[in-house]
Chains A and B, each alone.
Chain A
Amino acid sequence: SAVISQKPSRDICQRGTSLTIQCQVDSQVTMMFWYRQQPGQSLTLIATANQGSEATYESGFVIDKFPISRPNLTFSTLTVSNMSPEDSSIYLCSVAPPAYNEQFFGPGTRLTVL
């Protein structure tokens, strides 16, 4: 299976600040996905990150709030900007490597905003 790591694993932040989450994969992938999982809830896709182009955001998510970088085929970052307590969630990255017929998830970043 694909090996995915995320940093940080958890953080506690003050409202109004920003946090950048890193996602590293052990193989080259065309697309990387960022999901949000609010406490006790399901997973919601935030955006799809393609290397060499702008990320594609889902309805309800905007680039100013969740800027994404994708500098190469194994790495991506998601920034949660100007945070409020409503941003407290688990943020997960995922990939679907061409060698595998499934989507794998990273361990997640648990964010608490005070």
Chain B
Amino acid sequence: GENVEQHPSTLSVQEGDSAVIKCTYSDSASNYFPWYKQELGKRPQLIIDIRSNVGEKKDQRIAVTLNKTAKHFSLHITETQPEDSAVYFCAASDGGFQKLVFGTGTRLLVSP
């Protein structure tokens, strides 16, 4: 089955810096790669996703890149703000946005 690895496990940055979180997946059939943000005590919420027919996608300060050949995808957050502090999870699916396999999570701390 699919296996998703995520690095780093923790990431501390200063406000205004960029943050990059990387994930690798094992199943070449995976075609959908979402990123979820989970604040303390809250449910995971989708912040951006990408499908296998696209190499990059941007939404304001957030971008995701996908390298299908290397089976890895990354989340890029620019101009970080303290409210970006949360745990971020990558995921992969070979069934569209249905059955998701999650990475281990990255705790991002943005210091003012």
In the assembled complex, which residues on chain B have CB atoms less than 8 Å from the CB atom of A103?
34, 46, 97-98, 100
**Could you give, for residues 12-37 of chain B, a 1 whenever the CB lies within 8 Å of some chain A CB and a 0 otherwise?**
00000000000000000000001000
Does residue B104 face the partner (Cβ distance < 8 Å to A)?
yes
Give the interface size class of chain A: 10 to 19
- Closest chain A CB from B92 CB (angstroms): 12
Using an 8 Å CB-CB cutoff, how does the interface string of A41-56 with B read, 1 for contact, 0 for none?
A: 1111100100000000
The winner among A48, A96, A103 for most chain B CB atoms within 10 A is A103
Complex: how many Å from CA A45 to CA B101?
A: 7
| Docked-complex contact B43 and A31, CB < 8 angstroms | no
User: Which chain A residues border B101 with CB–CB below 8 Å?
Assistant: 45
Residues of A within 8 A of B (CB): 31, 33, 41-45, 48, 59, 92, 96, 101-108
Give A6 Cβ to nearest chain B Cβ, in Å.
Answer: 9
In the bound complex, do residue B102 and residue A31 qualify as a contact, i.e. CB atoms below 8 Å apart? no
B105 contacts A59, C-beta separation under 8 Å = no
Across the A-B interface, the 6 shortest Cβ-Cβ residue pairs:
A105-B43, A43-B102, A42-B102, A102-B46, A96-B97, A42-B105
Which single residue of chain B is at the shortest CB-CB distance from A100?
A: B97
Query: CB within 8 A of A105: which of B44, B96, B103, B104?
Result: B44
